[in-house]
Amino acid sequence: MKSNIRALYFLPYVLWILLFVVVPILLIIYYSFFNIEGTFSFENYEKFFTPVYLKMALSSFWYAFLITAFSLLIAYPTALLLTKTKHKQLWLLLIILPMWINLLLKAYAFLGIFGTYGIANHFLELIGVGAKQILFTDFSFVFVSVYIFVPFMILPIFNALEKLNPTLVDAAKDLGASPWITFRRVIFPLTLDGVKSGCQAVFIPALSLFMITRLIAGNRVITLGTAIEQHFLVTQNWGMGATIAVFLILAMVIIMFLTGNRK
Amino acid sequence: MNRKWKVSNIYLIIVFFILYAPIFYLIYYSFNSGGKMHHFENFTLDWYKEVLQDVRLLIIVLNTIVIALLSAAISTIIGVFGALAIYSVKTRRVKNTLLSLNNVLLVSPDVIIGASFLILFTIVGIQLGFISVLLSHIAFSVPIVVLMVLPKLQEMSPTLIDAARDLGASQWNVITKVVIPYITPGIFAGFFMALTYSLDDFAVTFFVTGNGFSTLSVEIYSMARQGISLTINALSTLIFLLTILLVIGYYFITLRYNRPGRLGGRK
Amino acid sequence: MKKIVQMFAIVFIASFAILFFIARLNASEGYSGDNTLTIYNWGEYIDPELIDRFEKETGIKVIYQTFDSNEAMMTKISQGGTTFDIAVPSEYAISKMKEEGLLIPIDHSKIPNLKYINPRFLNLSFDPGNKYSIPYFWGTVGILYNPEALGGKKIDSWNDLWDKDMKNQILLVDGAREVIGMGLNSLGYSLNDTNKDHLLEAKKKLDKLTPNVKAIVGDEIKMLMANEEAGAALVWSGDAADIMWENEKLDYVVPKEGSNLWFDNMVIPKTAKNIEGAHKFINFMLDPKVAAQNAEYVGYSTPNEKALEYLPKEISEDERFYPSPELTDKLEVYENLGKRMLSYYNDLFLEFKMHSK
């Protein structure tokens, strides 16, 4: 009886996995072995292990790491403070709301805000710092990326905080722990799962950003996503694009393994 | 106590300000007679008038909304099943494999997802249009639903289920009366994330659409080459206002609905 | 549980209501009828009034879809599952599509207005005899610059961009052929050069340009230049016309070493359903008055010679966008260099981008 019901809810999900995950992965791996002329070859993989692509991979990882770190730094306090407000669900929805406005539009808005004659520079001039080159820098790239990913980090942390047993915090306080120690020893460890899913939901997509690398960073930042987009859309070298995708998938598997549950 | 409260408030205000800054920028320029998103000339409502007269745009917006709603709903259902499935698997190896497979679509660049789905659909022979877009959106939203629901399942104390069974609950009742209410916040979170993924998607939709079926994102990206018309700003403002009203309205309605029978604050 | 069931119920009911509404709208607009013409064009690349006029004159309902890159468009058409009757690819895409058998020959007897097209724009290497394509808009690649921001500097050649006083002043479009082509032209080589030594030389020279390059961007280059984010940019002439219309301080020049001559032509993909209608549409767009109206709206250069008579003199006599025959002769159309060579161009470009850091 039990296994019948389990099969019921196993089925749609496994079906989805087979059709939309396993089959596309197989297709991608299949394509990665074909070079631009359509013949079977390993040259895509050879190309990947050259300095150009390895540098690109390193760069992608570095930026993804930065973005994840900053998102966490900003998201955690936000989530924490949100749980203490009166209409927390409302505020949470309001945090997600901006994500429903098209990304390209928001990027254009940032181009205007961070432009040489934009609002940000006007503000900087007002406070006496003077206009700076904000666009096409590492700073603006990380800033806008964090802007996009922060809600993805806030949600799981918020959920984790909500389920935290408040008596544990009270107990810590009773035992004389300062707020910082309470946070470090009680709250944070207990919400670690939320932090982990947040990091996964941010780090992994951040590896393949390409719209923002062009719009905000002016291609001064190159990620693996830039290369993939170029190969799939411009060169029509699906083989090479697929090869890079294979490595992205491998990277994801490794990260998941490293941050997975070890219970 | 008061001082700390102020600092945290300021922090939240700054976060919200930054989150909404680009949106306000867009709204501001939707009234620009100058036609572009810089050098504000004169205040005008022309763009709004254009939006309301453009039937093609209206169809595109409705397409976008329908796809978002349906794909979010269906992917949430599949995602919840998936989370339950992963949760109930006992062997760690199988669990991790399923999780990795689940997350593949989250890591893959949109372009690759779009391209591989396109190949898939043409092989199977599905006509490109509403159906292919819907299936694709469902497909890429499932992982995030799983990621939102699974942590809640894992935090749930298994003794709850044992207790329910001890009290004679059937498997069905255990799921509907114990598990699901516990993970409801995760389900809602998953639903909204799925909505978001769908509304924002461009690359996947672009690859798998056809037959005149278009969504707002595809439309906007195609406009970029010639310059995005301010009708889009006006449209986005309208959608934004509508959504805010819906969200706030829904929230206060459910508050009122929940009030009778609740004695005091809920912690 | 009840809350969830409620939510799902609302979502499904709302969705089906909307679907019903959409179907009604589509039917009322004639989109689901039989006499339709599906056009696949660049975004904002036609005066919407002209579509209305075409529909009124012929009774055919137009379904209009847009794309933002040749490659994406080609992928859609070659994969199948679409029923576009008209597409508007760029010249290099047309030669690729021809090669892959994606196009239907155009019956010139059905498009008498073809006679109005300037013969200079017909019978080009990418489509001899115009068997498969009819010119829609054309243009050049050149330098858009802000004399004021550059201290009164006058630019008329690619090599001007390498000057020391251009530090951090240049925006480039995200196009491998455009950028590598600039490198090749500046060394006196052809845009279609396949000699690897020449290409490496061009790449080396481009690497020297990197201190002057502020960013490599896409369509947002228009907004950026209008906002005076940079002193100069490598752009397509049509974009330049748009930007200059917004910001009168800017000027455009086709460099004297030579440059690219590009075309966007109308084609009939092999997946077309309404071939008669497609021919009617092409003939309609070739009408001089229609072409003139379109050129004024879109802002790009029309290949329709008779249409020039209907354009305001300030447009038709602007040498920057309607250059003299002598200059036009120096310009080259991109040839299809073959997959392997194009891949090499793109690899060089990728390396250039990484070097730009």
Residues C187 and C250 in one domain: yes
Is pLDDT of C343 > 90? no
Which chain A residues contact residue B74 at CB under 8 A? none
Highest mean pLDDT among A183-192, C77-86, C171-180: C171-180
CB spacing of C218 vs A215 below 8 angstroms: yes
Give the H/E segment covering residue C235. strand C232-236
Domain that holds residue C213: 139-261+331-356
**Per-residue exposure over B96-114, b if at least 16 CB sit within 10 Å of its own CB, e if not:** bebbbbbbbbbbbbbbbbb
In a domain, C326, yes or no: no
- In angstroms, rounded to a whole number, what is the distance separating the alpha carbons of residues B29 and B38? 8
**DSSP state at residue A18:** I
CA distance C213 to chain A (A): 10
Instruction: Give the nearest chain A residue to C73 (CA atoms).
Output: A233
Q: Inform me whether the C-beta atom of residue C351 falls under 8 Å from chain A C-beta atoms.
A: yes
In chain A, how many H helices and how many E strands?
15, 0
Residue C300 is assigned to a ligand binding site: no
Q: Calculate mean pLDDT across residues C339-355.
A: 87
Residues near A99 by Cβ (< 8 Å), separated by ≥ 6? A148, A151, B196, B199, B200
* Chains adjacent to B (≥3 CB pairs closer than 8 angstroms): A, C
Touching A: C residues 17-46, CB under 8 Å: none
Is pLDDT of C171 > 80? yes
Q: Calculate mean pLDDT across residues C58-75.
A: 85
**Cβ(A168)–Cβ(A190) below 8 Å:** yes
Measure CB to CB from residue A21 to each of B104, B193, B202 and give the nearest one: B104
Touching C: A residues 172-211, CB under 8 Å: none
CB spacing of A214 vs C69 below 8 angstroms: no
Residues C307 and C217 in one domain: no
Phi, psi of A223 (to 5 degrees): -110, 175
CB spacing of A237 vs C346 below 8 angstroms: yes
Dihedral (CA of C6, C8, C11, C13) sign: negative
Residues C62 and C200 in one domain: no
Highest mean pLDDT among A28-42, B112-126, C118-132: C118-132
Residues C269 and C121 in one domain: yes
Is pLDDT of A136 > 90? no
Optimal mutation site among C24, C65, C247, C297, interface B, most CBs of chain B within 10 A: C65
Residues C103 and C126 in one domain: yes
Residues C27 and C118 in one domain: yes
CB spacing of C68 vs B184 below 8 angstroms: no
The tokens of A4 are what?
Answer: 């019948």
CA distance A127 to chain B (A): 18
Which chain B residues contact residue C139 at CB under 8 A? none
pLDDT tens string B34-93? 767 667 788 888 888 888 888 888 888 899 999 999 999 999 999 999 898 888 888 888
CB spacing of A227 vs C350 below 8 angstroms: yes
Residues near C178 by Cβ (< 8 Å), separated by ≥ 6? C141, C172, C234, C260
In a domain, C162, yes or no: yes
CA distance A237 to chain C (A): 7
Residues C237 and C283 in one domain: no
Residues C45 and C129 in one domain: yes
Instruction: Give the nearest chain C residue to A38 (CA atoms).
Output: C339
Q: Supply the mean pLDDT for chain C.
A: 89
In a domain, C164, yes or no: yes
In a domain, C4, yes or no: no
Q: N- to C-terminal Cα distance for chain C?
A: 54
> What is the structure's pLDDT at C275?
94
Which chain C residues contact residue B177 at CB under 8 A? 1
Chain-centre distance of CA B194, in angstroms? 4
Residues C133 and C164 in one domain: no
CATH code at position C89:
3.40.190.10
CB spacing of B139 vs A108 below 8 angstroms: no
In a domain, C3, yes or no: no
- In angstroms, rounded to a whole number, what is the distance separating the alpha carbons of residues B88 and B102? 15
> What is the tally of structural domains in chain C?
2
In a domain, C352, yes or no: yes
Quickly state the pLDDT bin for A260 (edges 50, 70, 90). low
pLDDT tens string B153-205? 887 888 888 888 888 888 778 878 888 888 887 888 888 889 888 988 888 89
- In angstroms, rounded to a whole number, what is the distance separating the alpha carbons of residues C291 and C281? 12
> What is the structure's pLDDT at B225?
62
Measure CB to CB from residue C339 to each of A37, A111, A118 and give the nearest one: A37
**DSSP state at residue C304:** B
Quickly state the pLDDT bin for C346 (edges 50, 70, 90). confident
Phi, psi of A232 (to 5 degrees): -75, -40
Residue C44 is assigned to a ligand binding site: yes
**Cβ(B208)–Cβ(B117) below 8 Å:** yes
Residues near C9 by Cβ (< 8 Å), separated by ≥ 6? none
In a domain, C184, yes or no: yes
Residues C89 and C152 in one domain: no
Residues C132 and C148 in one domain: no
Q: Inform me whether the C-beta atom of residue C357 falls under 8 Å from chain B C-beta atoms.
A: no
Residues C208 and C347 in one domain: yes
The structural domains of chain A, ordered by start, are: 50-259 (1.10.3720.10)
The tokens of A123 are what?
Answer: 């503000």
**Is the ipTM beyond the 0.85 threshold?**
no
In a domain, C5, yes or no: no
- In angstroms, rounded to a whole number, what is the distance separating the alpha carbons of residues C337 and C94? 13
CA distance B210 to chain A (A): 18
The two beta strands, C232-236 and C251-253, are unpaired
